Structure 1
């Protein structure tokens, strides 16, 4: 696919997806959904990719759905928003969650509506100090989609999640980090360098171990303790036979930097 609404690159194990509709604050239309899906399909099929960086071009990360892409008026039949969610947004969130590698999100400006929840669906979120997260659905009579009603209370508790969802008030990046909504808030000029360095670290890391860590932490949100203990046992048994585990132990013993291959 020739990309028109995103930029995609892959180098040294790191795939980078940049949402690229800056004139629309990188809001999603159907074309962008199709291109992001194609990018993630490419990543899934490429054995050399070991980490992903997701960010936005221009002054915003993503303003969610491009409302101009829908014909909403009293003169038109009501749009089937359930179809939009089921066809485009839910598969994207599931792709991010299921991808067997870390996904780093660099939030370079406003992340609103579905844009906020797509960012929060990533494994590690780093935001510029000027960035803000807005659950803007309440302003147009909707609910937080793209996993918002599920992930928000798990990250910051019901009281704060309910407040953000019902009021639609912006939450600045520094407060988001203090609340535990995101991993880190950094100065604007340091965002891309810091996010890229972290993603490159993951790309050069023990891929299967990182993938299992991601899988187990996400599964633990719904598993009981006994189930998770058994799953940890099985994961450790499998990882103990990997090349990267042997290399990590050897490097530690020999006091050198490990050279992980993802095997």
Structure 2
């Protein structure tokens, strides 16, 4: 499949999705949103993909949010635009049974911030920042930010970031638990590569199950979570990687996982 608004590369078990509209700081147009969704869905169904990386082209921006000049892509309302373009992208990232890593190379504002927060692991350059900028144009956070923010940082901090739209540096974002790690910009690629290498060689099905079950944890009872653990553990016990993990432990060697 060809894409007009992203660069998509799949090598060595790694699917790399690069938002490729640097001339507008990778602002989200309907076409870009559809391309991201399609690429994530393609990675989801490709058994050779073990980990997905999402980043932005250029040095200044990961994603500056919605492209207001592009409008709503033919939708009759902003709500319809969200349902048609934004929500499918966020759901695709959260539902793919593989780790999704965000290489946060610059500003992540508005729905661009939502996109970053939808990823499983966010590694940022130290000169990057995040902003829930919606309030500056009289709107509220969307594309999942009202879901992610309170779960990551608590209700009061979530309200403060949403209602002020202030810039949060990468260092502060790490401190408050909004993202995983911040590193000097010169070390971003090396750090991302190290984390990606781990996930590329990890037991993918186990990590996919973890992601699915953790997604349900805050809205479930203890009894429900115990049952989900039992169900998924039973399924995982029949996989190649579980057998390999147990055998390698008994043989005192490093496991070789295949993602199967």
| TM-score tier (shorter) | over 0.9
Indicate if the aligned counterparts of 2:44 and 2:98 stay in contact, CA closer than 8 A: no
**How many Å separate the matches in 1 of 2:2 and 2:231?**
42
For residues 113 and 253 of structure 1, the distance between their equivalents in structure 2, rounded to whole angstroms, comes to 49
Separation in structure 2 between the aligned mates of residue 121 and residue 33 of structure 1, nearest angstrom: 14
Structure 1 consecutive aligned stretches of length 4 or more whose deviation exceeds 4 Å: none
- CA contact under 8 A between 2:34 and 2:89: conserved in structure 1? no
| 1:249 to 2:243 alignment | no
Paired residues for 1:1-263 under 5 Å: 1-58=1-58, 59-70=60-71, 80-263=77-260
RMSD: 1.4
Q: How many angstroms does 1:4 deviate by?
A: 2.7
Matched pairs, number: 257
Change (3 A) 1:140 1:204: same
Where in structure 2 are there 5+ consecutive unaligned residues? Answer: none
Does the CA contact (< 8 Å) of 2:122 and 2:179 recur in 1? yes
| Residue aligned with 1:68, SS | coil
The runs of 5 or more residues in structure 1 that have no matched partner are 72-77
Distance 1:34 1:229 in 2: 37
What's the TM-score once normalised by structure 2's chain length? 0.95
Of the structure 1 ranges 38-47 and 90-99, higher mean CA displacement relative to structure 2 is found in: 38-47
Q: Deviations for 1:170-193, whole angstroms, at most 9, x for unmatched residues? A: 000111011011111111111122
Q: CA offset at residue 2 of structure 1?
A: 2.8
- Cα deviation code 1:62-121 (max 9, x no counterpart): 0110111128xxxxxx96111110001111110001001110111111000000011001
Deviation at 1:197, TM superposition (A): 2.3
Is the contact between residue 70 and residue 79 of structure 1 (CA under 8 Å) also seen in structure 2? no
Provide the C-alpha distance between the structure 1 equivalents of 2:239 and 2:37, rounded to a whole number of angstroms: 31
Structure 2 partner of 1:74? none
Q: Is the CA contact (8 Å cut-off) linking 2:41 and 2:96 kept in structure 1? A: no
SS at 2:69 equivalent: helix
3-state SS, counterpart of residue 103 of structure 2: strand
